[in-house]
Structure 1
Amino acid sequence: MKNKSELVHGLQQRLQAADIQLPMSKVALIHDAVIDHLMATLIEDEVVTLGGYVKLDIRNRPARQGRNPQTGEPLEIAAHKAIGLKMLSKGKSLLND
């Protein structure tokens, strides 16, 4: 799993390859702005499609009965929202080629 600094460093390298020279601090601000905008869009119940690779949306998970894995004791899992990800055709072909 990549952490934020590794993602920012990779983004900076991609920008440099396109002859865009930005310091790491500016690239980190761009990274944060993109993530903040994606989350704000999802919170408004909008679907986000990222370049034909993946689609993100908010999914409502109903309340359900679960089990504590350590004790086996039943417990109630509250209804909640989760981010759903669906791989689109460009993403599928990228992974499978």
Structure 2
Amino acid sequence: MITVLNKSDLPSRFDIRRLPKTLSNIIKISAKEETGIEDLKQKIRQTSGAVDFDLHQSVCFTSRQENLLGQLTNAQSKQQAVSTIGDLLNGQV
């Protein structure tokens, strides 16, 4: 869990030390001033395990997606790949 405290550009009205100990991943940001946003993004990546995430790499979240990607990767011809995509678009896969 990540605790995000917004409005860090304003004077604090409470003592952070009084927050429950379960709220340990505390990130201060100011959406208005756009500060702390990169820290928040990094914390999200760390917490989700996506530190080295590559936007250009295929990602499968479900076994269905993994199966479809496998079928496309193993297609013996362009026609077979097009057929698999057609089945996908028509709801047959």
TM score, norm. by length of structure 1? 0.21
Instruction: Say which structure is richer in strand.
Output: 1
Bigger radius of gyration among the two: 2
